[in-house]
Amino acid sequence: MKIDYRIRDDFAEIIRCRGTISKVVLPEQIGRYPVKKVAAYAFSAKKGKEDTDILVYESPEDIMFGENERLLAGEEIEEVIFPDTVEEIGNYIFYNCKMLNRLEFSDSLVRLGSGAFTGCGNLEFLTVHLKRGKKSCVKEILGELWQRMDVLFLHEGADTHEEVQAVRLVFPEHYEEAVENTPARILFTQHHGIGNNYRQCFYSREIDYRKYDSLFPLAAAQEKPEVLNDMVFSRLTGPCGLTEEYRKMYETYVREHPAETARYLVSRERSEYFRCMSNQELWSRASLEEAIEEASEKGKTETLSLLMNEKHRRFPEIKKKRFEL
């Protein structure tokens, strides 16, 4: 990958990137300068005028495979990974990046330019490395996006020997509608969807897990089963900040929706979800039989075998004794 950059005091600012693949992994350092900033419109194809007062960094692999390189901007990028050194991204950095789907960064990133995610309707996944505490810029990013967002918080801490605690949270979609009160000639905004409520579950840039969990009854009344199950199993398998009260609430949802849960688990095929069902004894005979039937119909043999074993373990068949005269 080729990187256009400039030197700002004691750090490097990335201006543009060129390469051959849609996944962009930015370096922590260029020469002896740490990469602390990514400039305005860096990944946008709508930049008016290209910079001329720049330096060019060329990665070793680009020297070997750089024949088909292209400007990595607009619809040419699908995933961007910022290094831990990046503290600031510029205005409209991802403007109209319609194919951008994943973004990864750390809690070093504290300053976002205005309109950074305008036109990023396909962005679905955020991964944030929490190395210095629990604060991040996730709230600001979510505030610019209306679509459903899945955020993976990796609580890493300053001690590299500590086990990383992973928490995936689902933030449902929402949208706003301008409604006119014609007689009064007044426009007012109506909010639709529970997503806006979930985006308020932050206090001083830190996720408030208790407030997040408290909203689930509202979500259960509005969201689709697939979204609800994603929320439930994300919390049960990543229980950071999960109180006993809310753990029981999520488990109750699973028990009260056996058919929906069974179909969901078979479609996802995530081993940690099956372990959760077994360890917390959430399987009922009805949900297991539903899951077994679904796995059989879908031809998912490994899942079917796992479910059959679980059924034999949880609900062993008692053979009737036969007496012959």
Domain assignment present for residue 36? The answer is yes
How many other C-beta atoms lie within 10 A of the C-beta of residue 52?
A: 6
Whole-angstrom distance, CA of residue 62 vs CA of residue 198: 43
Domain assignment present for residue 264? The answer is yes
User: 12 and 124 share a domain?
Assistant: yes
- What's the structural domain count of the chain? 2
Domain assignment present for residue 203? The answer is no
User: Range of 67's domain?
Assistant: 1-172
| pLDDT tens, position by position, 41-83 | 999 999 989 998 999 999 876 555 556 789 999 999 999 999 9
Query: pTM for the full model?
Result: 0.91
User: 167 and 74 share a domain?
Assistant: yes
* pLDDT value of position 175: 79
* pLDDT value of position 67: 67
Q: How many CA atoms lie within 13 A of 100 on its CB side?
A: 27
| pLDDT tens, position by position, 163-216 | 889 999 999 999 776 666 667 667 767 667 899 999 999 999 999 999 999 999
Return the residue matching tokens 């509202």: 218
Domain assignment present for residue 218? The answer is no
Burial of 101 (0-12, 13-18, 19+ CB in 10 A): middle
* pLDDT value of position 68: 79
Whole-angstrom distance, CA of residue 245 vs CA of residue 276: 17
User: 12 and 145 share a domain?
Assistant: yes
Burial 130-169 (b: 16+ CB within 10 A, else e): bbeeebbbbbbbbeebbebbebbbbbbeeeeeeeeeebbb
CA Rg value for the chain: 25
Q: Which residues of the chain, if any, have pLDDT below 50?
A: none
